[in-house]
Structure 1
Amino acid sequence: MTGHRFTFSGAQLFACPSGALWWPDQQLLCVSDLHFGKADRYARKSRGLLPPYEVRETLTRLEEDIQTMNARQVICLGDSWDDLEAAERLPDDEKLWLTRLMAGRNWIWIEGNHDPGPIELAGTHRSELQVGPLTFRHIAEDAAVGEVSGHYHPKARLANRSQPVFLVDDTRLILPAYGTYTGGLRSTHPALSSLMGPEALAFVTGKTVHPIPMPR
């Protein structure tokens, strides 16, 4: 498979070009910040019109990752929905597509700050989840060890182009946003610089994934 292999808290993981995290020993795929329904929310809130295809594009990439890895577990690491109404207004064909992806898999929805809480879909809804040495939650906490989180949509600017990145140090791993219509916070922002240790790395996504020292 393509991606960057690394060890975090004793777990052998892959940072995938799509922004997904793959844990082969657990057959576990983790994605963060899908933000389904962002175009719908923008239209409802008169914030402008975005092409209404972001849910299908995100589902296409998610399906490809699930099939490529043959994932048996999927963790959606919070902010899977852009708001409550977006979850309620998901078109039937896209809801069916998502339901089909969930079938036969251990699917966990982690609560995020945008999420409406439990919705009328299958899967398990949790505030956080411990799997072996790793703890999955939406927003990083102080003094966390073996923590996998999202929320910040980290990016780094390289060669005049902003790219989503994974951020990792000895105790914490922050995933990039997986959803199509998601902005990002540069790794130089104080909120991220203060969270990550001095030896933190950024895994830059794209056609391949390559590690660099975290830009500060």
Structure 2
Amino acid sequence: MVPFSFASQEFRLGASRALFWAEENALLVADLHLEKASFFARHGQMLPPYDSRATLERLADALRETGARRVFCLGDSFHDAQAVERMEPHASGMLAALTRATDWVWITGNHDEDANAPGGTVVEELALNGLTLRHIARPGAPETEISGHFHPKLRVSIRGRSIARPCAVASEKRLILPAFGALTGGMDAGDPAILKALQPARAIEAIVPAGDRLARFPLWRAAA
């Protein structure tokens, strides 16, 4: 995981798309979308039913790597309100073990506000150590925030090839995390909806871990 600063706090961002908050010894993840495959299967689009297992395995790996004792899930942790009931026993057992082993907080999102989240604490948003954790960014709000919802991806062309990578997107007071889930699509990081969500801002950039450093890509700058 690669260190970087946001809002005078020290974080580390990993290729897994998790954010480690050093001062709080906490792992932040957004948009797990657990049981998305089973949701689509119920509607006739058959997908391999292992997305929840893969997502939770990566989350367990990130906890082992960082030693974090707290987990903040920034909304849309479940793909729909019935996701918990559809979880297969292996994934359900993994989730139960993770929520028992850590101080776990579910922040509700637009997909899972009615989901019966197992273990942990459920809140709409959380103010902690000068930052507000929520699902959807609130442009113009006075607080400094970290959110999810948009599943940002950076698309670049390298040697004639188009490559897309999940990324974080940041302005001075707002940070949007990439989707952590194994079965999540993405929105172009420079999409007007994302740029609007990060306002007001002097500049907006995409942030992508690249080995032992962070690659930063300017997306927008206020007119002089």
**% of aligned pairs identical?**
37
Q: Aligned AA for 1:38?
A: K
Q: 1:64 — aligned with what?
A: 61
Alignment of 1:84-163 (within 5 A): 84-117=81-114, 119=116, 121-144=118-141, 145-159=143-157, 160-163=162-165
Work out whether residues 18 and 206 of structure 1, in 8 Å CA contact, stay in contact via their aligned partners in 2: no
Structure 1 stretches of 5 or more lacking a match?
A: none
Report how far residue 210 of structure 1 moved. 2.4
1:201 aligns with 2:205: yes
Q: 2:77 — aligned with what?
A: 80
Work out whether residues 19 and 176 of structure 1, in 8 Å CA contact, stay in contact via their aligned partners in 2: yes
Q: Deviations over 1:189-216 (max 9, x none)?
A: 1101223334222112465662323335
TM-score by length of 1: 0.92
Question: What is the aligned-residue RMSD (CA, Å)?
Answer: 1.6
Alignment of 1:35-54 (within 5 A): 35-46=33-44, 48-54=45-51
Count of matched residue pairs: 213
Out of 6, 12, 19, the residue aligned to residue 8 of structure 1 is 6
Q: Aligned AA for 1:168?
A: A
Out of 171, 174, 198, the residue aligned to residue 173 of structure 2 is 171
- C-alpha separation in 2, matches of 1:81 and 1:206: 29
TM-score by length of 2: 0.89
Q: Deviations over 1:155-176 (max 9, x none)?
A: 1102201111101111000000
Work out whether residues 73 and 105 of structure 2, in 8 Å CA contact, stay in contact via their aligned partners in 1: yes
Work out whether residues 29 and 73 of structure 2, in 8 Å CA contact, stay in contact via their aligned partners in 1: yes
* Cα 1:54–1:23 shift into 2, 3 Å: same
Q: Aligned AA for 2:26?
A: L
